[in-house]
Structure 1
């Protein structure tokens, strides 16, 4: 008699504490927003006080008194499931765990046959007593006896496991029925991690708290509130059975109602669901605010913006003009070279007319004022000389023209890749790189000439001792010399055949090759022409000086190698770091380009980088 009284009291208590869970015991249906509901596609759970067949035609649903579209009703157990989570910690020892298992068996007895259920017992270990199933025998076996108890209550780990089971089963939505005394113990996942897993799996939590000495309702109520579920509190283990029976009845009589709302944005909505013979159930929500900022008829792509940009038009016009000028100058340059003049470069005995032309050319090279007659053309004259010295088959005009073509193509490609008109500036680096490569090749040619010079002068001195004249000895030297010395000394001999004094021809070569050692040789030949003397002996002394100077230069190069290497490393390190950041996460550098302080820092960084490189170059570059 007393047991019957306690059961009735427990049922009454459950009904008073949380009326939604006792909806099956009342006469009014309830309407609650379902997990995963959005806008305008809305989802609600409709709990009826009794089991009955219900379809969309038997349900009258309105929003603010107006109709909706796409109304659909899913029966209980359709695309949904329930997960029982039973606390198996030491705090549940004795009557609590016995009451919990009795409540689980009552849940199974009240369950609708189509509702799949899974059972989990949790402490520090998460034990799945039963996967999702509708088999009565399997579910009865899962809750027939109490699980093994252990110290620790990992509530959040158990909820994450429940979400994983629902996702593995492929359920669009599910309900986790969580039973515990509410006191978390042990190291486990955080509440945020558990809520994220439950939200992703569309799992709501109905928490049942059992009062105990360590009772802490905050954990259970917080999880239930934030997942759209409810929280029930049980004073004694005996009260758990009617509570779980009511939860099972709720899930067995709960229909999923979906529809599409026709309401505008930012409107308070009242949803009313009516079933014949029952009072209507209502719920309220506010439609979200929609971003309706005017964006034009369409958003142009970057390619469209680039094509329509006036800057691109200016760039194309200038590029076409430059290419036309390049074509005209190339044609004029080719026509201006007569067959006689081009063949004269390979003839050792030129005509009198060509001799006069060559003499005038040499005179203009020796005259400083003639060489600098137009200040703006000095850079072009220097470039032409470097192209000739570097041994390129193409002329300076051809190389410059192809550099311009490459700059145009690179500019357009960079603008498309970077999706910015600022990418057009990237093409400016192409002519700079072309000039840099020409300079590098000229430096290598001059370095090779300097290395070959002592051996060539020794051959020259030996030929003089053998009885040759100075010009004849130089012919002997040219025949056995390697490039680039052979070509340069042959030019000297051609100039001498054209009537240019040998010392002046050597001065021209000294300027072309930027060699102070050749200036010494020119001085020796001038002394030999004006005063005579033992030229071979003097050349031997010059060779000794040159070799000593070269040895000193090699020693300096070795001693400054570490500094030169440090210069390149310190210069390349920040550039490589920026490139690495652009590859792994370009957003990290956004403040550097999008804020005033960032741009100022970027300019300062470039200035310090260039200044540091220049200073290190001056420190390690020692002139011998």
Structure 2
């Protein structure tokens, strides 16, 4: 059955890999796309980019707006188009462009673009190296643009992000605006971040296409360019110096093959965003371009007269830091609430308090009032207790874990604290990741597992302390038995002279024995709680001695000597395996640690791993292989003695 399940999982993964790696059929890059949408008093205007080889029947073009039919009219774009079209060339002029003749190829490609782009398209030029310059404001004067291209010079630095921001600003805010970026390197600036640039591109609805020169072996630079193109609903065109002119010519070809579709707005339509669909009939079938677009320059709606004077200075823009400060304050509040749940350490009673306790006067008028915060905490504890009452299995598991760890928390209190840690961890992740949801979810998972790991660590530490002190405890019991004490008296001696956790556990044994539990059964409970095989052997020896008789003191002395030898051997093995264990911890923690660090510092670099199908498959494979490695390393470094 297991083999069949594994075979089915492997087949599913293989099929998913084939689907992800198989190129899709159909129009692919030859599909039409909506480049620009705007609404004016005259109606709706839509610019549609169509494939160069598509012969569109302009008389049969139809369209819909949020499903409503439009009375559409289609014309070819030209010098008399009523929609402004602006393209900004953002050209990298860093020193690295001098290699392999890239700079000369870039100038030639820009010339090709200027010769091919339609006459009505205004072209501007922005250059970036160690400085950003708007070399040419948008204009239809091709001679002026050519002079700027011929006069370009190289310098140090690559302020890629600042150059794109300047290009977006130079494109203006009217009509179709596009930016064509040419770069061969990553951004070297420190002031502007990738997130700021992509946000600006998205807010201004500017189309961005990137021509990437020789970026092989630069995954960080490639990821940044992909993020810029994705924000601008464009694409990254990887090119070399010889094919650069073809890439620029193709971009100009897109502007030359656009169709302007106009239609009056449906009656009563006043939305600023809508789904636009344009159907283009051709000899080979209908082509459909659709997009959920921001309706720009929408018709003004008469506003109701204001009853108060307008003062623009009255408003207050909330700074970005206030959002993170709010998260931090909320997280601190949760941590404070969790700290309040920790029970106070019991203070020894004074002589007067003991006397009043025996006389029964406590609680009749001298009870201290509760703090103001305690009723709220009591309600929270009561709610957690109600959850555990409906889930007895969970309550039993929590009780066992808390007992094994020696914790003073009740199951309801621990459940409440656990929830607080999870929420606080998620908030801290959002704060650390600057609002990144993925980082917040990662820290949410850490917060979920951290309390469990803490209990497991404390239980292991307590178990180790129990086993370490066990030989000396048995020796003390043997001495007490040799002195003529009974087994119960010997246990009482341990509770008074022994050390924790054995002293507290043996005290529990005496309490259980006094309420009717057999001494051997009480000892069996200690062995079960600590999962101690050594003490289980001691309990077995005591049972046998109780049944068949013999010298229990001598038996305990022999068992104590055997345990000392085993502990010595165990320490030897731990010393020899310490290097392997340390290596296993480093190899196990390094991949997820680096993943979290890069997610915090460069979230765009890791975005393809969880936003694309192939990236998710790679991430799942990495987790599977890491889990397999952790399993084998744990087996190799764990030696039973």
Query: How does the TM-score come out when normalised to structure 2?
Result: 0.41
Rg (Cα) greater in structure: 1
Query: How does the TM-score come out when normalised to structure 1?
Result: 0.42
